[in-house]
Amino acid sequence: MQEKIEKIIIDVLLELNEELESNELQNPTQETKLYGGNGALDSLALVSFITDLEERVSDAFDKDIVLADEKAMSQRTSPFRSVKSLTIYIQKLLEE
pLDDT in tens, 58-77: 999 999 999 988 888 778 88
Check if the beta carbon of residue 13 is closer than 8 Å to that of residue 84.
Answer: no
- Cα distances from 9 to residues 56, 71, in angstroms, run 9, 20
- Are 86 and 9 contacting, i.e. CB atoms less than 8 angstroms apart? yes
DSSP helix/strand/coil, 27: coil
What is the domain extent for residue 63? 2-95
How many structural domains comprise the chain? 1
* 20-66 tens-digit pLDDT: 998 889 999 999 999 988 899 999 999 999 999 999 999 999 999 99
Domain CATH number, residue 17: 1.10.1200.10
What number of other Cβ atoms are within 10 A of residue 72's Cβ?
Answer: 16
